[in-house]
Amino acid sequence: MIAKLQNHARDYAWGSKTLISDYFGIPATGHPMAEIWFGTHEGSPTRLAANPSISLREHIGFELSFLLKILAAEQPLSIQAHPNLDQARIGFERENAAGLPLTASHRNYKDANHKPEMIVALTDFEALCGFRSEPQIRNLLLDMVEAPEVSSTFVAIAQSWLDAFEAGGLAQLVAAILEPTFADEPIELAGFNAELAQLADFSARFELAASLNRLFPGDPGVVVALLLNHVHLEPGQALYLPAGNIHAYLSGLGVELMANSDNVLRGGLTSKHIDVPELLSVLNFESSPVPYVRPVELAHGLIEYPSAASDFRLYRASVSGTNLLAEIALPSPAIVLCAGGEVDLSNSRGDHELLRRGEAAYLSTDAKHFTLSGSGDVFIAMGR
């Protein structure tokens, strides 16, 4: 079975009004077009193009293990991390037992699933992911303490964070930034962040703080962002973000694949609910290299973006008049998203659909294999 799909763009405030429409040819709405979901998650149900009254979940009768998205960021998303499977199950059960509605704004766990994810850039893409090395973070804090022409309060706060870092490492430092106190009293970061932004004239390493402070004055995420790897992806490059990885997408258009979950623990750059203790409980505080995904060519025109995820696999296929991808095995249900041109999708049962830019289709496993022809580019997401 091949079923063409449809869904509407979600209008989150950080979304772009132009990236999705310009790249995919999907009509602009005049509002932010942040994400388009393809999957069975009830947060934004994908529907059959031939009969929009029927959701994909209703059509196939089960939940897919993955969720495929188009993501377009004009402004930064929140600094965030996702739980592992045990943390998600425990958190979901705990909030259910407390009687928290699934729609409650202060709820952390919307489901009992983990949420490893991968992002593949379609345009130039900017992101933060994972903590920088401890020497880099120590030097950053020293630069704050020793910065010229800042107030004594700024120096005292920066020194308290340096002391926290030396005493308890990254975990204690992040906790101190997210719940800042000075002389045992809570403090507002508006003044500190304003001075931090001015340090962009002193060192390029503070330019990110300056740009974020214009959007989120007084937000602790402005400081946390400086602790993270700042990554610029070119089209085709990808990141894999496992459970516990702290990250934020800043700008650009990409295809995102994740486990079928909407669990997010936030840590800044947002007006939404932040639960600092819960975030700290799921974060991985180990410094690590940028988690680039290295594509593997499986055949001419077919590459895989490999990852350790147990819930999904992602491929990208390019076909042309001289390159037909035929009889590709289908070990599990899949969703195919056309990212350019026109691609004819067919299977060994004789079903077929023509996909144009921005169109997607569901492939069931009742056929042994499928074939791609035409002239275009598609992403193929499937479970393990």
Question: Do 8-129+230-282 and 296-382 share a fold?
Answer: yes
CA distance 170 to 280: 10
Got the DSSP string for 207-261?
HHHHHHHHHSTT-THHHHHTTEEEEEEPTT-EEEE-TT--EEEEEEEEEEEEES-
Q: Which fold has domain 8-129+230-282?
A: Jelly Rolls (2.60.120)
267's tokens = 């840590």
Query: In this predicted structure, what is the pLDDT of residue 167?
Result: 97
Report how far apart, in Å, the C-alpha atoms of 375 and of each of 28, 158, 335, 340 are. Answer: 25, 56, 19, 8
pTM comes to 0.95
**Residue 57 belongs to what H/E stretch?**
helix 56-60
In this predicted structure, what is the pLDDT of residue 204?
Answer: 87
Bridging pattern class, strands 360-363 and 2-6: antiparallel
Q: Where are the domains of the chain?
A: 8-129+230-282, 136-215, 296-382
Are 172 and 110 in contact by the 8 Å Cβ rule? The answer is: no
Supply φ then ψ for residue 122, to 5 degrees: -100, -30
Q: Dihedral (C-alpha) 89, 90, 92, 95: value to the nearest 10 degrees?
A: 170
Q: Can you identify the CATH homologous superfamily of domain 296-382?
A: Jelly Rolls (2.60.120.10)
Instruction: Tell me the pLDDT of the chain averaged across its residues.
Output: 95
Sign of CA dihedral 298, 302, 305, 311: negative
Establish whether 266 is a catalytic residue: yes
Q: Which residue has the tokens 């490893």?
A: 116
Residues of the chain with pLDDT under 50: none
| Options 107, 266, 313, 316, the catalytic residue | 266
Mutual orientation of helices 207-215 and 190-198 as an angle, nearest 10°? 140
Grouping H, G, I as helix, E, B as strand and the rest as coil, residue 19 is: helix
Q: How far apart are CA 140 and CA 340, in angstroms?
A: 43
- Phi first, then psi, for residue 263 (nearest 5°) are -85, 120
CA–CA dist 114, 365 (Å, integer): 25
